[in-house]
Amino acid sequence: MGYDPFMSSVSQGLQSSQYNPYAEEHNPLAGAGASYYGAQNTYSTPSQPLQYHLYYPLAPIRDTLQPYQRAVFDLFLPESLREDLQKKAEAARQVLASQPGVQSPSLQHYHSLVPLDIKLKNTPGIFGLPTWVWKATSRKNGNIYCLRRVEGFRLTNEDAIKAVNSWKKISHPNIVTTVEAFTTRDFNDSSLIFVHSYHPLSKTLAEHHFPVTTNRFSRPGPVPEKVLWSYLVQLSSALRVIHKAKLAARCIDISKVILTDKNRIKLSACSIFDVINFDAHRRVEELQQEDFFNLGKLVLSIGTNTSPRNMQDLRTLLEQLGRNYSEELKERVAWLLSAPQQQYMTADQLIRDLALHVDDVFVSSSNAYDEAVNHLGRELENGRLVRLLAKLGTINERPEFDGDPNWSETEHRYMLKLFRDYVFHQVDTQGNPVLDLGHIISCLNKLDAGTEEKIYLTSRDHQSTFLVTYRELKKQVQSAFGDLQKGNTKQQQQTSRGF
């Protein structure tokens, strides 16, 4: 089998000795001696032919739905997930409307800057300086990143910016990855730019739990305790990896923790304090203890619905937390708030103390993972069909190939044209188009699997009929597509004669 541009990159990467479900010949020893060795290695490969037309396990709900609903519900991503992913994709692709004569904003090799801040006027936040956040596309690799400008910061020590290098090595599901940092004069001042990975449509915990609203009745209700435990576990896990790398997060604040999915949070502004406060030369152990204190404060703030600006009396707020939540949560938060007095609390110790809640988070994220793999399985099926459709599209109705204007209408290509009619152009007894997605997908699945099932194909003038198996049709698709891949033989001969 030659190079197949419609094969997934994954399957392209497969070694010849590995099983390739898209390969025409599945037995690597095919040829001399194949039948002798035929039974070997079969333990690692599914029996042939693959029953591709059997889709992923279907829910019982299937029987109660109409065919058109069934196809949509059973074969594609659930509506809510599809909508969520599409909204994220749309946000990631968003660009500012171009204005005549105004160049789209860019910064070094980052172009198409789109602001992510919703505030119009920027006041200094936790960094003590105004910051601005954008999404931007890298000219180097086409990826989208989150850029944060720290306005009016003059870098006096070149070593300060190197502090970012240690952060680049940190990779953790609850930490936004740091990519790079640089200085710029593009804003007619000296500004620092931090580049982090981009997580579309994320909100800060401040935006989520303390939305700016003028309607006092629309204030959010109390946050469920399991959400608070989940935040605590996720941030403790982030702290564990940060502290192990001899760093301190320094940005545990409701405005710097982002919510990227339901209850999934990430620390979004790591490395910034390490650069802007580089000259303060504070001991990392001391900063790590502050991380614990700030973690306690964050949970207390959300649990008592009190903005960090109004958290002067921590003792009273702890009592309030104890009235609404379990004693265990109150004790854990009190323990975190005592961090500066305690000598060297560690993240390992914290994770051990949270073990039962870590298990809860583990179970829910494992469930989410299983569900995602299940959806991925269906999408794998759909991706396979798109490749098949693309192949058929290159063959059906091709106006001319190899100097033959009837190429797509003759020999086995004619059968593929009739198959196209069978799949897509059926009509009912009243002559209305049959728009049954289930029929289309089932036919394409059988074609891709090359089953032994036979179908009748009838010419448009009803003068001729063919009884053909999907297996034969599959061979015909491969043969016609193979011809197209080889290219124009007449021209090649002429060219080679020319040499």
Ligand X SMILES: Nc1ncnc2c1ncn2[C@@H]1O[C@H](COP(=O)(O)OP(=O)(O)OP(=O)(O)O)[C@@H](O)[C@H]1O
Binding residues for ATP are: 148, 255-256
User: Would you count residue 116 as binding ligand X (CB under 6 A)?
Assistant: yes
Q: Which amino acid is at 41?
A: N
Give the interface segment with ligand X, choosing from 54-62, 114-122, 274-282, 427-435 (CB under 6 A).
114-122
CA-CA distance, 188 to 320, in Å (whole number)? 48
Nearer to ligand X, 202 or 304 (CB): 202
User: Would you count residue 421 as binding ligand X (CB under 6 A)?
Assistant: no
Count of other CB atoms within 10 angstroms of residue 277: 16
Nearer to ligand X, 175 or 248 (CB): 175
Cβ pair 145, 115 in contact under 8 A: no
Pairing of strands 191-197, 144-150: antiparallel
User: Would you count residue 125 as binding ligand X (CB under 6 A)?
Assistant: yes
Residue in 207, 360, 436, 483 binding ligand X, rule: CB under 6 A: 207
Coil, strand or helix: which one is 465?
strand
User: Would you count residue 52 as binding ligand X (CB under 6 A)?
Assistant: no
Residues in CB range of 80: below 8 A, 6 or more apart: none
CA-CA distance, 335 to 412, in Å (whole number)? 76
Give the interface segment with ligand X, choosing from 4-12, 28-36, 46-54, 192-200 (CB under 6 A).
192-200
**What is the distance, to the nearest Å, from the Cα of residue 333 to the centroid of all Cα atoms in its chain?**
34
Nearer to ligand X, 207 or 411 (CB): 207
Q: Which residues line the annotated binding site?
A: 148, 255-256
Give the interface segment with ligand X, choosing from 21-29, 65-73, 199-207, 354-362 (CB under 6 A).
199-207
User: Would you count residue 402 as binding ligand X (CB under 6 A)?
Assistant: no
User: Would you count residue 360 as binding ligand X (CB under 6 A)?
Assistant: no
Report the nearest approach of ligand X to the CB of residue 364 (Å). 23
Please enumerate, as own/partner, the contacts of 291-294 that have beta carbons within 8 Å and a separation of 24 or more. Answer: 291/239, 291/242, 291/243, 291/248, 291/249, 291/250, 291/252, 292/239, 292/336, 292/339, 292/345, 292/350, 293/336, 293/337, 293/339, 293/340, 294/252, 294/253
Q: Which amino acid is at 99?
A: Q
Phi-psi region of 380 (alpha: psi -120 to 50; beta: other; left: phi over 0): alpha
User: Would you count residue 93 as binding ligand X (CB under 6 A)?
Assistant: no
User: Would you count residue 146 as binding ligand X (CB under 6 A)?
Assistant: yes
Six-digit token string for 42: 């079969």
Cβ pair 351, 358 in contact under 8 A: yes
Q: Tokens 């001319």 label which residue?
A: 400
Nearer to ligand X, 265 or 418 (CB): 265
User: Would you count residue 408 as binding ligand X (CB under 6 A)?
Assistant: no
Question: Where is 80: in which H helix or E strand?
Answer: helix 79-93
Residue in 238, 258, 345, 423 binding ligand X, rule: CB under 6 A: 258
Nearer to ligand X, 178 or 236 (CB): 178
Tell me the residue ranges of DSSP E strands in 434-474: 454-458, 465-469
Give the interface segment with ligand X, choosing from 106-114, 196-204, 232-240, 319-327 (CB under 6 A).
196-204
CA-CA distance, 233 to 139, in Å (whole number)? 37
Q: Which amino acid is at 272?
A: I
User: Would you count residue 138 as binding ligand X (CB under 6 A)?
Assistant: no
Pairing of strands 131-138, 144-150: antiparallel
Residue in 20, 112, 131, 178 binding ligand X, rule: CB under 6 A: 131
User: Would you count residue 333 as binding ligand X (CB under 6 A)?
Assistant: no
Nearer to ligand X, 151 or 421 (CB): 151
Report the nearest approach of ligand X to the CB of residue 177 (Å). 9
Using CB positions, name the residue nearest to ligand X: 125
CA-CA distance, 123 to 203, in Å (whole number)? 19
User: Would you count residue 270 as binding ligand X (CB under 6 A)?
Assistant: no
Residue in 138, 255, 320, 478 binding ligand X, rule: CB under 6 A: 255
- The pattern of x and - marking residues 156 through 185 that bind ligand X according to CB under 6 A reads --------------------x---------
Residue in 153, 198, 231, 293 binding ligand X, rule: CB under 6 A: 198
Q: What is the CA radius of gyration of the chain?
A: 31
Nearer to ligand X, 113 or 176 (CB): 176
User: Would you count residue 271 as binding ligand X (CB under 6 A)?
Assistant: no
Cβ pair 172, 241 in contact under 8 A: yes
Report the nearest approach of ligand X to the CB of residue 127 (Å). 7
Cβ pair 146, 115 in contact under 8 A: no
Give the interface segment with ligand X, choosing from 4-12, 126-134, 154-162, 392-400 (CB under 6 A).
126-134
Six-digit token string for 339: 């961090």
User: Would you count residue 199 as binding ligand X (CB under 6 A)?
Assistant: yes
User: Would you count residue 87 as binding ligand X (CB under 6 A)?
Assistant: no
Q: Where are the alpha helices (DSSP H) in 277-354?
A: 284-303, 314-324, 327-337, 347-353
Nearer to ligand X, 131 or 234 (CB): 131
CA-CA distance, 433 to 308, in Å (whole number)? 63
Number of residues that bind ligand X (CB under 6 A): 21
Give the interface segment with ligand X, choosing from 156-164, 204-212, 352-360, 478-486 (CB under 6 A).
204-212
**What is the distance, to the nearest Å, from the Cα of residue 7 to the centroid of all Cα atoms in its chain?**
21
User: Would you count residue 151 as binding ligand X (CB under 6 A)?
Assistant: no
Q: State the residues that interact with ligand X by CB under 6 A.
A: 116-117, 119, 125-126, 131, 133, 146, 176, 196, 198-199, 202-204, 206-207, 255-256, 258, 268
